[in-house]
């Protein structure tokens, strides 16, 4: 039976006096990988800011696990089970890989046994965290840094992981490794919601797709159906139809 873990209902949000999101409806089910695509300014990043608590919705509701989280602080939302892997430059370069990852478990730092257990879990999912533990994060390649960022986000054992442009600036080999970890997270029952400019990659990786334009959700469905949609294919994949 499908379990919905995250819902946005008629959400309006923006900055200053303007609205970026204009009545966004979004439903994300447990264990799925949902990819949001759309042109610049569509509101994709604003969706993440609202879900993570960095931006309060002006209207509408955000529900996680049946609880309205629209008024919670970012730290409360993080503790509730939603973590985010930001777009880039999220590590402290002069700190070691080990130290950077442990920062992800700051909220449980006093429970040494749990912290150790979570670190072991992260090292199993992301072996680089153990293999390069003592190395300064600033010495890592872009792909390696992304893996460390994912490991840090997993330290609180989140139910939902928000991923903002996970392939940005990475070489194909690194993209493949990141994609493998994303699939592993979903296989373990975690839910992944990602924004990805590389539509072909995003839809190949995702189970579900969402197309946004001008602050609204225009199209939702299975990722492959979204990728095969002639309008989407023409706009994002350089195709003119199903057989092009």
Per DSSP, the residues of 58-72 read SEEEEEETTEE-TT-
243 pLDDT exceeds 60? no
- pLDDT for residue 237: 65
Closest CA to 62 of 44, 77, 75: 77
214 pLDDT exceeds 80? yes
Specify whether 140 is located in the same domain as 200: no
Specify whether 96 is located in the same domain as 125: yes
Last residue of a domain, one of 157, 179, 194: 157
Could you list the residue range(s) of the whole structural domain that residue 145 is in?
90-157
How confident is the model over 88-100, as a mean pLDDT?
A: 91
30 pLDDT exceeds 60? yes
Specify whether 18 is located in the same domain as 74: yes
CA-to-CA distance for 56 and 62, rounded, in angstroms? 10
Last residue of a domain, one of 157, 178, 212: 157
**Encoded tokens for 106:** 């700051």
Specify whether 96 is located in the same domain as 24: no
CA-to-CA distance for 21 and 214, rounded, in angstroms? 8
pLDDT averaged over every residue in the chain? 92
Residue range 155-197, pLDDT digits in tens: 999 999 999 999 998 999 999 999 999 999 999 999 999 999 8
For residue 189, count other CB atoms closer than 10 A to its CB.
Answer: 10
Specify whether 222 is located in the same domain as 170: yes
Specify whether 54 is located in the same domain as 76: yes
242 pLDDT exceeds 50? no
119 pLDDT exceeds 70? yes
- pLDDT for residue 241: 43
How confident is the model over 36-55, as a mean pLDDT?
A: 94
- The total number of structural domains in the chain stands at 2
Strands (DSSP E) found in the chain: 4-13, 21-29, 33-37, 59-64, 67-68, 82-85, 160-164, 191-195, 208-213, 216-222
CATH classification at residue 221: 3.40.50.300
Last residue of a domain, one of 157, 182, 197: 157
- Burial string for 214-232 (b: 16+ CB within 10 Å, else e) reads ebebebbeebeebbbbeeb
239 pLDDT exceeds 60? no
**Encoded tokens for 241:** 């139809």
Range with lowest mean pLDDT among 42-46, 84-88, 119-123, 192-196 = 84-88
In degrees rounded to 5, what are phi and psi of residue 204? -70, -30
- Give the pTM: 0.92
Specify whether 189 is located in the same domain as 141: no
């Amino acid at each position: 039976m499908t379990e919905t873990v995250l819902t946005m209902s008629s959400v309006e949000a923006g900055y200053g006096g303007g609205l970026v999101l204009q009545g966004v409806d979004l439903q994300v089910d447990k264990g799925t990988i949902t990819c949001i695509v759309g042109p610049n300014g569509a509101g994709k990043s604003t969706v993440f800011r609202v879900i993570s608590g960095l931006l309060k919705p002006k209207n509408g509701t955000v529900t996680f696990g049946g609880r309205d989280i629209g008024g919670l602080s970012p730290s409360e939302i993080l503790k509730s089970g939603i973590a985010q892997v930001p777009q880039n430059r999220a590590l402290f370069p002069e700190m070691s890989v080990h130290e950077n990852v442990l920062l992800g478990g700051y909220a449980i730092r006093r429970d040494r046994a749990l912290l150790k257990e979570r670190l072991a879990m992260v090292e199993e999912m992301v072996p680089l965290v153990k293999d390069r533990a003592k190395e300064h994060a600033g010495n890592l390649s872009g792909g390696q840094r992304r893996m460390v960022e994912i490991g840090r986000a997993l330290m609180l054992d989140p139910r939902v992981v928000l991923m903002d442009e996970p392939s940005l600036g990475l070489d194909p080999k690194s993209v493949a490794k990141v994609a493998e970890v994303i699939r592993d997270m979903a296989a373990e029952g975690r839910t992944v919601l990602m924004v990805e400019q590389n539509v072909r990659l995003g839809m190949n990786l995702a189970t579900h797709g969402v197309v946004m334009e001008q602050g609204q959700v225009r199209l939702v469905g299975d990722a492959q159906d979204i990728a095969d949609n002639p309008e989407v294919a023409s706009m994002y994949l350089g195709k003119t139809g199903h057989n092009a």
